[in-house]
Amino acid sequence: DAGVIQSPRHEVTEMGQEVTLRCKPISGHDYLFWYRQTMMRGLELLIYFNNNVPIDDSGMPEDRFSAKMPNASFSTLKIQPSEPRDSAVYFCAIRRARNTGELFFGEGSRLTVL
């Protein structure tokens, strides 16, 4: 079964603090995506990787956001410094290959920045 484990599930932090969100795929994949979900803007693609290489980061809102994928089993999304408007649910998703279609989403990390 395809799957993604995200951590933490919930994080509350204060403005200015660094936030690191983690994603661990537990099945084979070629692509890994980071999405952000808010009531106002819905599901937005932030960045995606193909075979651990960042391909398109045009959705990353600002330089405060960065993402890495050091190996096929792990990816991080970092926000430094965090701001209240970064409050959202962040999803990691994987796809096995370009044309198979389905994205397998994790359960998300709910971030609240006070």
Interaction site with another protein (CB under 8 A): 4, 31, 42-43, 45, 48, 50, 55-56, 91, 93, 98, 101-103, 105-108
Rounded Cα–Cα distance for residues 67 and 79 (Å) = 9
User: Which CB atom, from 10 or from 81, has the smaller least distance to another protein?
Assistant: 10
CB-based contacts of 23, cutoff 8 Å, min separation 6: 4, 5, 6, 32, 34, 74, 75, 76, 77, 92, 106
Q: Which is nearer to another protein, 59 or 78 (CB)?
A: 59
Q: Tell me the closest approach of the beta carbon of residue 106 to another protein, in angstroms.
A: 5
CB of 104 to another protein, least distance (A): 8
What are the C-alpha distances in Å from 91 to residues 48, 77?
A: 12, 10
Using the minimum distance from each CB to another protein, give the nearer residue, 55 or 114: 55
CB of 1 to another protein, least distance (A): 12
SS3 77: strand
